């Protein structure tokens, strides 16, 4: 699509940002909006608290249970660290606490609050990544399952599902896949809610995990 006169605008969507090839990307003319840096699209990357409360009121569902199971993703319309490194004036970021849209919609429709995540992703996918145990990845997972947050440097991630050089690369992928939340101010990752915690619990019951931890 580069340098094609007949292309005025292109919009692409997917789970991961554009694949990196070393320091440069083959497609470097795109603006990328992701769970790590959604920028001005931040409030549209999931259901907001206001939207969920309105749905609960409309359909007579209990908000507290919905919040416990599906809330917890944190995104900002500004990444403070990025502005600081560029010497730009920093304004106050607006942070959004987002809910998993599919799970919220299904729970409100059925009236049954439970783990709907495995309807779209099998737990084997998560188990495969966390079993790598790069740089003490398993220890980090155990801490997060206990409610802790873990520092992560996600700058070296290559934006694919096969190239992993460190624990941080795996954590970055799990952010994009929705298995982890990310706080861009503290650069910490965490398990966002009860639904995702349930996925981690299931993925760590395997003999391979328990036998090598």
Q: Residue ranges of the chain with pLDDT lower than 50?
A: 83, 85, 213
Residue with tokens 């790590």: 36
pLDDT at 213: 47
What's the confidence (pLDDT) of residue 55? 96
Residue 58 CB partners (closer than 8 Å, separation 6+) = none
pLDDT for the residue 122: 52
Is residue 109 a part of any domain in this protein?
A: yes
The answer to whether the predicted template modeling score (pTM) of the entire model surpasses 0.85 is no
Cα 97 from Cα 201, distance rounded (Å): 23
- The answer to the question of residue 180 being in a domain is yes
Residue 143 lies in a domain: yes
Question: Which residues constitute the domain of residue 178?
Answer: 39-212
Classify residue 26: in a domain, yes or no.
no
Residue with tokens 């036998």: 211
Spatial separation of the C-alpha atoms in residues 155 and 169, rounded to whole Å? 9
Distance CA 121, CA 201 (A): 15
Q: How many domains does the chain have?
A: 1
pLDDT in the model for residue 197 = 93
Pairwise CA distance, residues 39 & 86, whole Å: 16
114: in domain? yes
User: Per the domain annotation, does 27 fall within a domain?
Assistant: no
10: in domain: no
How buried is residue 28: exposed, middle or buried, by Cβ count under 10 Å (0-12/13-18/19+)? exposed
**Cα→Cα distances 40→37, 44, 45, 96, 195, Å:** 9, 9, 10, 11, 27
The reported pLDDT for the residue numbered 21 is 62
> Does residue 19 lie within any of the structural domains?
no
Tokens of 95: 């942070």
């Amino acid at each position: 699509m580069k340098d094609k006169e007949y292309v005025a605008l292109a919009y692409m969507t997917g789970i991961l940002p554009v694949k990196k090839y070393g320091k440069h990307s083959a497609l470097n003319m795109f603006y990328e909006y992701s769970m790590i840096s959604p920028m001005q699209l931040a409030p549209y990357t999931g259901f907001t608290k206001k939207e969920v409360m309105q749905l609960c009121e409309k359909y007579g569902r209990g908000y507290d249970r919905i919040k416990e199971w599906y809330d917890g993703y944190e995104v900002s319309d500004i990444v403070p660290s990025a502005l600081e490194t560029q010497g730009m004036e920093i304004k106050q970021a607006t942070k959004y606490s987002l809910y998993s849209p599919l799970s919220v919609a299904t729970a409100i429709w059925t009236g049954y609050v439970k783990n709907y995540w495995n309807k779209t992703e099998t737990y084997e996918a998560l188990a495969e990544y966390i079993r790598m145990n790069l740089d003490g990845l398993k220890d980090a997972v155990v801490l997060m399952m206990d409610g802790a947050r873990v520092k992560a440097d996600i700058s070296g991630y290559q934006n694919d599902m096969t190239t992993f050089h460190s624990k941080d690369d795996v954590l970055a992928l799990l952010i994009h896949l929705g298995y982890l939340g990310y706080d861009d101010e503290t650069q910490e990752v965490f398990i966002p809610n009860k639904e995702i915690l349930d996925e981690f619990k299931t993925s760590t019951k395997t003999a391979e995990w328990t036998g090598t931890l």
